[in-house]
Structure 1
Amino acid sequence: MGYGQLSGLADGGDTNWAFGFGGQIYRRDDGDWRKLEPVGDDSARQSILAAAAGGQDSMWFCGTVTPPLIVEGYKKDQALQDKLNAARAANDFPLYQSLMRELRQQKSGGAEPVLKPLLLRYADGRLTRLDVDGSAVKSLMAIHVESPSRVWLTGSEGAILFGSAETGFNPVPHAGQVTENLVSIDRFRDRFIIASDFGLFEFDGHVLTRLKPRLNSPEINRNVPNPLCIQSVGDILMYFDLKHGVCRWDGENWDWIDIPDALLEREFKGLK
């Protein structure tokens, strides 16, 4: 208890997983949930887990470690705390991270908080932490597992990494000059699709290019979406937007899904 809100769920075949903003990881087998013990030198409460991926043999979790730095005389900024709570309630991970950096900076008396990437792997009944070069990426935000030997990571400031538990992870230089946070990655048919803070891209392993056709919703300020995540399901790519809802893409056309207002209410009481 006391670890805070969950940030996501993941399917691992016969096992379900849940993880959160307090670094907590829960595993569900045969209807029972149990919490995994944290690993490494950092407290789980200093960690934010953003994403998980994997399957029957192993699961991967990624996020950020944000060490606490509190100077004498620090006074709680209630307005900032309210914004943090709102971002967490909306599952707006990029905004939450940005506000957390601001909070850490206040607590440290103006010093830039030292963020570190966090990568965990659960296999053979054991959770282990893997080393990721902090100079290559400060925050990890998404994972795509092609196979045990081919794992892709994306994160802050346009970072893309590739590797495995055995070989380690190295930055993948890519053309396109994208410096936004890369918040989601999945393979759709013969290509990777990557979502950034404000856009969607194709990735061929070397170059990031804007995905075309672009989202066509009159509610979205032209070419400025706010992606939360993407997920490939068969021949359809599902797209989730922080502000504008859910749509599906068949490779040519975008089809927005009508969500009843009742489902969007915080206290859902059922559809009429």
Structure 2
Amino acid sequence: MELSVSDLAVSLGTRRVLHGVDAMLRPGRVTAILGPNGSGKSTLVRTLAGLLDPDAGQVKLGGKLLARLQPRERARRIGYLPQEATVHWDLRVAELIALGRAPHRAPFAGLSGTDQAAIDAAIEATAVRPLVERRVTQLSGGERARVLLGRVLAGAPDWLLADEPLASLDPVHQLDLLDRLRTLAAGGMGVVIVLHDLLQAARAADDVLLLREGRVVAFGPAEAALAHQPLREAFGVEVMVIGDDQGRLLPVPIGRTKSV
């Protein structure tokens, strides 16, 4: 089911952050949201997750208004991973990941076989099996980020929305995570990630949405959205495009453009 926004406008306090955003995000694909600091990336993801109400425009999931879905149903459909790897309880890792099954369980019910299978799959997908008996407060920032992703994946959502999921990961785990996200998308999940790194976006994304000052500069296949002119307009940078050993075109920033 598609996740779409039409003529979306969102304010934070008295400041308008998003202006007339239109996009149709498709399942089975990785969509990267990029833009300079303050361009509205996190605001857009939070609105897609149903955590912010738009001033104007609509968010739809499978053709239905997101705002009309019951919170429990929305939580089953959309998994959201925020920037801040914050945990308010000192739980065991296994217990924290199990919380991802909450939208699927009756209050106070134990874990079913389906629940446990989903938890196990999330543990394997995020490579945190060696951590399951540790307390969350004993984890590094990168380990905690992987565990929190595991909690989201345990819910088996149709859509995964991740805001800066690479921020606290070392290069190896960044590559591993992007590969896992691509695997999830290949299995039919819709994946939306906020990124800053153009190379990682070119490597991982099927589609790219470029924002600048709350407006869409470009949206479409990664190769087109990460071309010279859209990146000049969005970031004010010149890029050199190189090819990798898999035939992908990778934009490498080489300097500021004088026209922006």
TM-score, normalising length from structure 1?
Answer: 0.26
More helix by share: 2
More strand by share: 1
Q: Relative contact order: is structure 1 or structure 2 higher (C-alpha 8 Å, sep ≥ 6)?
A: 2
TM-score, normalising length from structure 2?
Answer: 0.27
